[in-house]
Structure 1
Amino acid sequence: MRTTIFGLFIMLVSAQWGFAQNSAAEKEIIQLSKDKWEWMADKDVDKLDDLFHEKSMFVHMGGSWGKEREMQIIESGGIWYKKADIHEVSVKIIDNTAILLNRIDLLAEVGGNEVTNPFEVTEVYVNQDESWKLGSLSFTRLMSRGDDH
């Protein structure tokens, strides 16, 4: 009986410890995503260069490309991510991969024109050497604004 109770206690403590770790990792990813939006708005390519994985991919309404082109676009102002109003965020962690979903209204300047679009943004992060790197950033345009819900 004591062994059974002790075993259940150990399982409960282990489960709570696991949830606490996931929760801390989820919070870290959410903060990293918020920081990314600020760095993109500030065109801070040094911080983004460190965040974006060398093999990262970016999917936009006008096409898809890798890290080098995304960095050029941000630095040149080809797309200026001025402000992301985040309405919802969720994170799922699978092993060393985190999938973050943001429902946002994005104010951006594209080709000299200021536009606001509602997006569901998918961000995929991979943990390598105790550091999270952005592996993919995909924009899916929504039919309605984030404040409609």
Structure 2
Amino acid sequence: MIYSLVNHFFHIEDGYVKYEDSKKTTTALIFQWISGHYGYANIMMGMFIALWTKLFFKKHDYNFFEILILLCFTMGMGMLIFTVFAIVTGITHYNLLEFGGYVGVIYSAWAIGQFFNKSKASSYFKALASYMLGMITFFLLAMAIGAVTDLVIKH
């Protein structure tokens, strides 16, 4: 909610997720929605990250929902990190949003690695991999849904 208010106040809607398409395709509309509702999109993205995290950390006895709760907290903190960079960008007009995105992802990977086994460096690499693969899976699925919807509508 705080991020949404800062995002609306400083008009930086396309800072973290931006998709440009000259045509009004379903994929473009989906990405427009993601950009405008990044908090909700983060929750959906968290489900995919949780699946990859469960796969990479299968030796641990945490179920999908416990991992999802971890990710809700972690990604919520990431949104607060994004908010700080959005405020700085809004005040100074220096575009630091991309850097803020990197800091948020690194924080999330660090927090996930800390949760599972903070003494092993491999935990942090697996956490980063699960976060990145979860994001990629989310965006690929969004693009696939858009493409299939457009194909079905055309025929």
TM-score, with length taken from structure 2: 0.29
Structure having greater relative contact order (Cα 8 Å, sep ≥ 6): 2
In terms of fraction of residues, the more strand-rich structure is: 1
